[in-house]
Amino acid sequence: MLKGYFKKGSALVYILIIMSAVMIILTSMIQFVVSQLKYSQYEASREESLQIAEAGIYFYRWYLAHEVEGKTAYQVEDFWQNQSPLGVDSPYEQDFKDPQGGVIGRYSIEVTPPDPNSTIVVVQSTGWTIKNPNSTRTVRVRFRRPSWSEYLVLSNASVRFGDGTETFGLLHSNGGIRFDGIAHNIVSSSQETYVDPDTGITRPGVWTAWTNEYNTNMDGDVFQAGTEFPVSEEDFTGVSADLALMKSAANSGINGSIYFGHSGKGQHIILKDNGTFDSRTVSQYDSFTNAIKTYASGWSTHNIPNNGVIFVENNVWLEGKIDNKRVTVAAADIIGGGGASVYIGNDIRYTNYDGSDILGIIGQNDIEIIKDSENDLQIDGALIAQTGRVGRDYYSGYYRSGNGGEKGWKILGGNTYQWGNSAGWYLCLCGDLSCVDHKDSITLFGAMATNGRYGFAYTDSCPRDSGYTDRNLVYDNNLLYYPPPYFPTSPEYSLDMWDEL
């Protein structure tokens, strides 16, 4: 009997052990399932919080579009400084609702407004759900208004970059582009194909004459960052309104801005690194070389406006150097509508290259490098030629027989020579380098927008090249976020950076 009782007791123990093990397993499984459900709910809540935070970002973009679209640069600056925009002085909170109108969460927006020298707006949005308010997600974005200084070169016409040109920055043309130098950034065109004006042959929107797209003279691939075409066009029509705004700012003296009227043939302006500039009215200049001949007045000295504009209702001859200044120099005949140009013969330089020096140069017609320009010329700044082009004329070499071999130049296609009349003038002989218009190098550090075809050098069938042998175009990255004062910008803010904190 005792033996049978022992066997029955042993079976009960086994059963209890098995039941305990099963209970442990079931409990673990239930806990696992519950934890997974909780985790899924937590992740769903976090995802909802992120979407709510992003909704706050899109709300603020909508808000900016309605508050600043169509306003002038001065009005936009006034909006940020004086009209208490949402989220600047204190966080702005708003409910987030589902399609049925029920509140499912909230977002809080904090905004860092642009400083007076920039268009950058930093928006930080934190979102959470009503069910799980402690599970927050925060997104920070950067908005900016794109300007005409986005590109190293922006052209409204078909353009050719010759051998010897090296570029560091984005290039774009609404026409086609022939590029025979070396481009270290993307080259884009709005055309799929176009008729090359130099050859009359239909070409791709962006192309090079080099075999296999390799420049053997400069020993490098032509398109080192690739090409893009066709892409959307850039609009050149909005600059006239910006010129009128610049004139208004200069007449009102905003930020020390200065206005010069329609006196003589224009103003000769020399920028100085002591914070001032000298100006003098030009009474006569050579229409072929664009050099100043005589003045109508003596020199006067003025303060360079910081974050302002020097507006001349006539032509401008510009040179000099700035130090810790942000200024735009504009030449525009808005009264007469005949057009005004900026002429450059000597260096225009920055003292600092950290963004504290920013110069805008706008010509209603051309920005022209004069014939007697420096052999090695440097221009620091962002250039816009609204209706004309940025460049230098083709001064082909001629000599006159029977007059001691006198040598001169004429504008290509013209019939009037620098000296004397057309009779007795002959094209310079090939290889006569003393008879050609030759310069060594030109460097642009900044950006360039040209309505017409740009060019600082020209070639013909023999060594009678005119202009600069080396053309170095380097983009100033500071212009991306700190365009010159009153420079044309897009009316809309674009999202420039997205980051989750």
Q: Which two tokens stand for residue 421?
A: 């009349």
Q: Identify the residue whose tokens are 């673990």.
A: 28
pLDDT reported for residue 42: 66
pLDDT reported for residue 417: 38
Measure CA of the first residue to CA of the last residue in the chain; give whole Å: 76
pLDDT reported for residue 421: 42
CA dihedral 458, 459, 465, 471 (to 10 degrees): 50
List phi, psi (to 5°) of 191.
Answer: -105, 140
Q: DSSP 3-state assignment of 458?
A: strand
- Give the list of residues 6+ apart from residue 405 with CB closer than 8 angstroms, or none: 399
**Contact present, 74 and 244 (Cβ < 8 Å):** no
What does the alpha-carbon distance between residue 316 and residue 367 come to, in Å, rounded to a whole number? 9
pLDDT reported for residue 418: 41
Burial of 411 (0-12, 13-18, 19+ CB in 10 A): middle
Beta strands (DSSP E) in 4-157 are: 92-97, 103-112, 121-129, 137-144, 153-155
Strands 425-427 and 395-400: antiparallel
pLDDT reported for residue 240: 61
**Contact present, 367 and 316 (Cβ < 8 Å):** no
What does the alpha-carbon distance between residue 119 and residue 146 come to, in Å, rounded to a whole number? 8
Report the run of H or E that residue 288 belongs to, with start and end.
none
Please report, as a single letter, which amino acid is at residue 148: W
pLDDT reported for residue 397: 60
Listed as ranges, residues in the chain with pLDDT below 50 are 1-2, 400, 402-406, 409-422
pLDDT reported for residue 489: 80
Q: Is the peptide bond before 204 cis (omega within 30 degrees of 0)?
A: no
**Contact present, 292 and 345 (Cβ < 8 Å):** no
| pTM (two decimals) | 0.81
**Cα-based distances in Å from 198 to 278, 321, 481:** 42, 37, 37
What does the alpha-carbon distance between residue 159 and residue 250 come to, in Å, rounded to a whole number? 34
Q: Is the peptide bond before 230 cis (omega within 30 degrees of 0)?
A: yes
Residue spans of the domains in the chain: they are 2-144, 153-174+234-480
pLDDT digits (tens, 9 = 90+) for 465-490: 678 889 999 999 999 888 999 888 87
248 Ramachandran zone, left/alpha/beta (phi>0; psi -120 to 50): alpha
Q: Which two tokens stand for residue 314?
A: 């006539």
What does the alpha-carbon distance between residue 243 and residue 161 come to, in Å, rounded to a whole number? 29
Please report, as a single letter, which amino acid is at residue 37: L
What does the alpha-carbon distance between residue 391 and residue 376 come to, in Å, rounded to a whole number? 15
**Which of 365, 323, 325 lies closest to 343 in space, CA to CA?**
365
CA dihedral 250, 253, 257, 260 (to 10 degrees): 50
Q: What residues are paired with 419 via a beta bridge?
A: none
What does the alpha-carbon distance between residue 343 and residue 379 come to, in Å, rounded to a whole number? 12
Q: What residues are paired with 448 via a beta bridge?
A: 153, 383
Q: What residues are paired with 39 via a beta bridge?
A: none
